[in-house]
Amino acid sequence: MGSVGPVVLDEDVTDPADDARLVALAQGGDMRSYDALVTRHRGRIFAMIRNMIHQEAEAWDLAQEVFIKAWQALPRFEAKARFSTWLYRIAHNVVYDWARKKRIEGVGEFNDEVFERDRIDPGSMTTPDTGEAPDAAMARGELREKIEAALGKLTPEHREVVLLKDVQGLAYKEIAKVVGTSIGTVMSRLFYARQKLQIMLKHEYESR
Amino acid sequence: MNTNPDETVLARWLEDELEGAELAAFEQTISGRADLHAQQTVVRAMRKDLAELIPAVEEPAYPDFFNSRVGKSIREQAARPAASRAGRRSWENWWMPATAVAGMAAAFWLGTKTTDRAELAGSPPPARPVVAQPGIYTPERGVDAEWFSSDDAGATVIVLKGLDAIPDNMDFSQTVGLQTGEQGTAGMATTTEGGVRQ
């Protein structure tokens, strides 16, 4: 821990350099640094999980589990990948373990039934405030609702790559690491996911 | 003739991942395909909307509580495994091998004695169980040792009841020092003690 200087955080909370410093301190057992890492990444991890399963309370618990598992695995983290990518990988495993458990408990098959019991309220406080006119804002809200409904009808595998690529902004290589597959498979999943979305959202985009 | 473009290249083109000569060559091959260009327009619009409308960052409810609960769970888990792991290791490393080896040694010793008596009596011994005294020969309560021996069958069977299964991944070399040569049965007892001391 002595070789690692005090952490002055960059304003960009996703700056990998800050993550690397905090990770080094946390690997030395510094809980305050790990707490800072949780603060920096909880929003993205929670959003990703919530967008996957659409159940807020469960997403809260699963996001907790991600950070607890990450702490346990932290000594093995070698910084070959970005810390955030590593967290997405853990989140992927946690969500799929949860879905498998739900299937075993008889809630439903390992498909969208498990992921789709609740819908996100499009008027919730997380809706981006774009400063638009009320009509435009309403139209955007409706579009968001339709996009979320369409995403919800994709398979979890397809939905995950779309969310990681378009919403979280990961590169193909990073997505491949997160979902544990090849870049070719990621591209293929994206291709078919987009085709399905295009069919489901035909009326929204045909008129443009 | 199949005029459909290669699906992999098409996927990359739709994602705006083609560049330079590869992009030019591909666009030449689909120059008459208005449907693909329309698809690309829709995909671009969808990507833009997904990025703008679906939140990438969303603070969980009660974020401070979120952090404190993570910290609490970590501290609890850090305390719990230390105690349970120590206890489990103690059991695995000491009592399980010690019980097994002591039970087997006791049963073997009893078998030797029984055979000697049978030979002195001048008649072949019948196969019968001998119950070892757990209080004496096995350090773990609830463990019974029985052995069955028959000269006619040429077999001796030792049965230990009440022991937990020994895990497949247990490394006996860390708990029992093997001895060879003339030490024989006495060597087993000595080995057990030596192993337990580790």
Tens of pLDDT, residues B135-188: 445 556 677 777 677 776 777 777 777 777 766 766 655 554 444 444 444 333
Check residue A123 and report its DSSP letter.
T
**Does B81 map to a domain?**
no
Mutate to test the interface with A, among B6, B9, B10, B50 (most CBs of A within 10 A): B50
Is B73 within 8 Å of chain A by CB?
yes
Most B-contacting residue of A64, A84, A145 (CB-CB within 10 A), to test interface: A64
Which residues on chain A are in Cβ contact (under 8 Å) with B53?
A: 128, 140, 143-144, 147
| B48 and B120 belong to one structural domain | no
B64 occurs within a structural domain: yes
Whole-angstrom distance, CA of residue A41 vs CA of residue B56: 11
* Domain-terminating residue out of B75, B96, B121: B75
**So what's the ipTM on this one?**
0.80
Among B45, B75, B105, identify where a domain stops.
B75
CB A52 within 8 A of CB A38: no
Confidence of residue A88 (pLDDT cuts 50, 70, 90): very high
Mark whether B71 and B92 lie in a shared domain.
no
Q: Indicate whether B117 belongs to any domain.
A: yes
Is residue A43 less than 8 Å (CB to CB) from chain B? Answer: yes
Look at residue B105 in the predicted model and tell me its pLDDT. Answer: 77
Q: Which helix (H) or strand (E) holds B15?
A: none
* B56 and B120 part of one domain: no
Nearest Cβ partner for B12 among A31, A169, A187: A187
Q: Give the closest-approach CA distance of A156 to chain B in angstroms.
A: 16
List helix spans (H) across B91-159.
96-121, 134-137
Q: B4: domain range?
A: 1-75
Q: Mean pLDDT highest for which of A10-19, A79-88, A106-115?
A: A79-88
A68 and chain B in contact, CB less than 8 A: yes
Average pLDDT of chain A, as a whole number: 84
Q: Are residues B92 and B63 in the same domain?
A: no
Token couple for A80: 């070959």
Are B71 and B99 in a shared domain?
no
A123: which residues sit within 8 A by CB, 6+ positions away? A141
Do B121 and B40 lie in one domain? The reply is no
Query: Which residues partner with B144 through β-bridges?
Result: B161
Please state whether the predicted TM-score (pTM) of the whole model is above 0.80: no
Supply the CATH classification number for the domain A1-118: 1.10.1740.10
Question: Considering only A49-53, A107-111, B147-151, B171-175, which range has the smallest mean pLDDT?
Answer: A107-111
B54 CB contacts (<8 Å, ≥6 apart)? A51, A144, A147, A148, A151, A163, A166, A167
CA A201 – CA B61 distance, rounded (Å):
31
Residue at B80 is within a domain: no
* Mean pLDDT calculated for residue range B75-87: 68
Residue A113 has, within 13 A of its CA and on its CB side, a CA count of 8
Residues B128, B65, single domain; the answer is: no
Q: Per the structure block, which two tokens stand in for B147?
A: 């052995």
Put simply, whether B81 touches A (Cβ < 8 Å) is no
pLDDT grade, residue A3 (50/70/90)?
very low
